[in-house]
Structure 1
Amino acid sequence: DGGDLDCGSGLLLIIKKAMDPLESGQILEVRSRERTVAEDLPAWCRMVNHRFLGSEPGDNTTRYFIAKGSAQEELEQDL
């Protein structure tokens, strides 16, 4: 749960730590009340080679879904 954090205030660090132990293709659910995450999170996913799967708005929070990219894909993107 990212609470009110935006992507520039530490949310991406929390997401990265949560993604690290996952295998390629596994899905992480991120919850946030911060509106700017809706634009920033998909852009970050493209930059780091994860797949942004979409979002589901809720009463007080929005749920975002990210599939972890593979290390091989990350390596190829760096080249």
Structure 2
Amino acid sequence: MRLPNLFKKKSSREIAKDRLKILLISDRAGCSPEMLDMIKQDIAKVISKYMKIDTNNMEIQISKSTIRGRGKNPTLYADIPILDLHN
């Protein structure tokens, strides 16, 4: 089992890329980057009660998708790496 490098510092390129992703996602969903970050923190807090997750590599996206022919609605997608389950 490979352990994540918790002390690895992100390069300025990676930081800029992450910021751009957040900006584009928030623009599409009509939600501010601050709000998107608060949502991400809340999701991480709740899921952390039940399992150990990698919050550094956690990604959330809000996009618009068609659901059952009702038109385009905002949809939340989450990619959350699970490191261990709490028993």
Given the two structures, how large is their TM-score scaled by the length of structure 1?
Answer: 0.34
Given the two structures, how large is their TM-score scaled by the length of structure 2?
Answer: 0.31
